[in-house]
Amino acid sequence: MSLIKGGHLVEDTFVDASGGETIPASGPVIVNLAQWQAQRDALLARGTPLGLRLHSDQSPEAIADDIQHFALIALEFPKFRDGRAYSYARLLRERYGFKGELRAVGDVLMEQVFFMVRTGFDAFDLQQSPDPVADFQTALRDFSVWYQPTGDGRPTAMQLRHRTR
């Protein structure tokens, strides 16, 4: 794994059982939507951080009322061209108020990192990158001006022009 968070390479403390593997008895774990829906009470009873991994055809509207239970939500990019997760990320952050780790997984490439950051992702599995830290830093520096407000609260060109926030 090449997990970048806060601009650094970090260890993934979560065990990923979302591929259908047996969910360990304890410890941070990532499950898929079907596992969550089938074993909800048991998963909550574990008392350790819970992660949810959603496929690109699974809108977070399905878990809007359960946001507070997840320390981590991983959104899949099966191909980098599948842009649904950008909408899902904004809904999670801006509509449902998700404050945990929002992780981009799958076909995650440097050239899309900037958009991911702007839509609310804060963790990136840059497994295809030979130098994930450098690539991440490069991507972040691409733009200092943008036109659209997103949940990150940073000012847009329009706001800067009129000195409003």
Partner 1 sequence: MYRYDEFDQQFVAQRAAQFRRQVSRRLAGELTEDQFRPLRLMNGLYLQLHAYMLRVNTPYGTLSSRQMRQLAHVARKYDRGFGHFTTRQNIQYNWIKLAEAPDAIADLGEVGVTSIQSSGNCVRNITSDQYAGCARDELADPRVYCELLRQYSFLHPEFSYLPRKFKIAITGSPNDRAAVAVHDIGMRMHNNERGEMGFEVLVGGGLGRTPYIGQTIRKWLAPEHLLSYVEAILRVYNMHGRRDNIHKARIKIIVNQMGIDKFRELVDQEWEQTKDGVLKVPDDEVARIKAYFAPPPYEKLADGKAELTMLRKADPIFDRWVRGNVVDHKVPGYAIVNVSLKAPGRVPGDITAETMDAVADLADRYSFGEIRVNHRQNLVLVDVKQSELHELWQKLVALELATPNLGLLTDIICCPGLDYCALANARAIPIAQDIAHAFSDIDEIQRIGHFTINISGCMNACGHHHVGHIGILGVDKRGEEFFQLTLGGSSDQHASLGDRLGPGLPQAEVPGAIRKIVDTYFTMRANDERFIDTYRRVGIEPFKVSVYGAETARAH
Please, what is the minimum distance in Å from the beta carbon of residue 115 to partner 1?
A: 4
Quote the tokens at residue 119: 């839509």
- How far apart CA 87 and CA 56 sit, in angstroms, is 10
Q: How far is the CB of 36 from partner 1 (least distance, A)?
A: 20
Q: In 3-state terms, what secondary structure has residue 67?
A: helix
Strand 29-32 relative to strand 3-5, pairing: unpaired
Report the alpha-carbon distance of residue 129 to residue 64 in Å, rounded.
33
Minimum CB distance to partner 1 smaller for 22 or for 148: 148
Query: Is the Cβ of residue 15 or residue 146 nearer to partner 1 in the bound state?
Result: 146
Q: How far is the CB of 56 from partner 1 (least distance, A)?
A: 8
Nearest approach in angstroms of CB 108 to partner 1 is: 12
Task: By CB under 8 A, name the binding residues for partner 1.
Answer: 59, 80-84, 86-88, 90, 95, 109, 111-112, 114-116, 118-119, 138, 142-150, 157-158, 160-162, 164
Q: Cα–Cα distance between 126 and 93 in angstroms, integer?
A: 21
Contacts of 112 (CB under 8 A, 6+ apart): 77, 80
Question: 88 or 124: whose CB is closer to partner 1?
Answer: 88
The residue among 12 and 82 lying less far from partner 1, judged by its C-beta, is 82
